[in-house]
């Protein structure tokens, strides 16, 4: 037990260390090449922190277990928006640009609605191909519009050399992934030693564990006052999960929906709608602490429902 506690703490330390280096390296790359921090968060950081979900979903698809592929993505996206973005906004309000409101956040809602529509009958291979094509278009369009799309705040810092920034990003991602794995494995062992049920472990530790990289990265970005990178990380991760991970999984093997309930789909849809509503109600230019608190309350309500249904 003592060894598992030490491994859990080591995993948390790796996650914190990795998030710090990833945010600094990604921010430096953005300044060096003239990309907005949002686009770097959307692409490099968003895809990198979604690596655990990709591995879990692809393995589930290869093994013919659609419930793992679908449940992992649906649960992760709910965690991302309601818990992680909510906690981040509660720590420090996140600024939103006109481009976020006009394009990125509505697209997040549209792909979520598209997924919910497809879940009624499961995902076929051709639907997986459509999702992958949409992903390719969105990444191309994001990079095209992300060059000099926004003025970066002058913080007096000079961008690092490219190779140093790349090493920081790769090293940070590795620390996040391995640290998250240490944390999940150790937390699962401790929970089972305390006679906690496997279903509860799956809903809490395992579902939250694959989203731990996003949580650590967003909190680190918020502390460093890089809210656009945090927002890009969440939106990028959500879109990456639906379009690339589920698209790729469905291309490997058709995904029949046997385990995702209407309540799960409703929670996923509500999370995307809540993000849109937070941006448009009152015509604000930021996600403030009130928005963060509301997101966290919605997440708590969903988790309470899941626990009661165990």
158: tokens are 């000079």
The answer to whether 271 and 78 are in contact (CB under 8 A) is: yes
Q: Give residue for tokens 């809903």.
A: 203
pLDDT tens, per residue, the chain with 310 residues: 788 888 878 877 887 778 778 878 887 887 787 778 788 888 878 877 777 777 767 877 787 777 777 887 888 899 899 999 999 999 888 888 888 888 889 999 999 999 999 988 889 999 999 999 999 998 888 878 765 444 444 444 566 788 888 898 888 888 877 887 777 778 778 877 888 765 566 556 666 666 777 788 888 888 888 888 889 889 988 999 999 999 999 998 888 887 788 998 999 999 999 999 998 776 667 898 999 999 999 999 998 988 887 6
Nearest 5°: phi and psi at 263?
-65, -40
The answer to whether 85 and 218 are in contact (CB under 8 A) is: yes
The pTM assigned to this predicted structure is 0.81
User: What's the pLDDT score for residue 169?
Assistant: 85
Rounded CA separation 118/121 (Å) = 6
The answer to whether 176 and 1 are in contact (CB under 8 A) is: no
173: tokens are 């991602």
Instruction: Tell me which fold the domain 2-147+158-308 belongs to.
Output: A middle domain of Talin 1 (1.20.1420)
Q: What are 290-306's pLDDT values in tens digits?
A: 999 999 999 999 989 88
The DSSP annotation for 160-202 comes to PPHHHHHHHHHHHHHHHHHHHHHHHHHHHHHHHHTT--HHHHI
């Amino acid at each position: 037990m003592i060894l598992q506690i030490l491994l859990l703490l080591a995993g948390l330390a790796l996650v914190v260390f990795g998030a710090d280096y990833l945010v600094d390296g990604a921010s430096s790359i953005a300044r060096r090449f003239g990309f907005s921090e949002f686009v770097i968060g959307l692409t490099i950081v968003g895809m990198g922190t979604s690596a655990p979900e990709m591995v879990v979903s692809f393995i589930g698809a290869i093994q013919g277990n659609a419930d793992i592929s679908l449940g992992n993505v649906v649960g992760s996206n709910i965690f991302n928006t309601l818990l992680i973005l909510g906690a981040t906004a509660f720590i420090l309000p996140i600024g939103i640009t006109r481009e976020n409101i006009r394009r990125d956040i509505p697209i997040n809602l549209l792909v979520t609605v598209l997924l919910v529509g497809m879940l009624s009958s499961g995902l076929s291979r051709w639907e997986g191909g459509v999702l992958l094509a949409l992903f390719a278009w969105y990444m191309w369009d994001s990079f095209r519009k992300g060059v000099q799309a926004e003025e970066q705040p002058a913080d007096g810092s000079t961008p690092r050399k490219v190779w140093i920034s790349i090493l920081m990003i790769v090293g940070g991602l590795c620390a996040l992934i391995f640290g998250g794995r240490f944390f999940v494995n150790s937390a699962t062992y401790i929970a089972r030693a305390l006679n906690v049920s496997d279903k509860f472990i799956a809903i809490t530790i395992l579902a939250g564990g694959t989203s731990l990289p996003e949580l650590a990265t967003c909190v680190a970005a918020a502390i460093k006052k890089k809210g656009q990178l945090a927002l890009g990380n969440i939106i990028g991760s959500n879109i990456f999960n639906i379009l690339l991970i589920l698209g790729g999984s469905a291309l490997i093997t058709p995904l029949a929906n046997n385990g995702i309930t209407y309540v799960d789909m409703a929670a996923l849809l509500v999370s995307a709608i809540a993000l849109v509503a937070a941006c448009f109600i009152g015509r604000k230019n930021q996600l403030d602490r009130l928005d963060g608190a509301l997101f966290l309350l919605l997440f708590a309500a969903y988790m309470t429902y899941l626990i009661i249904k165990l």
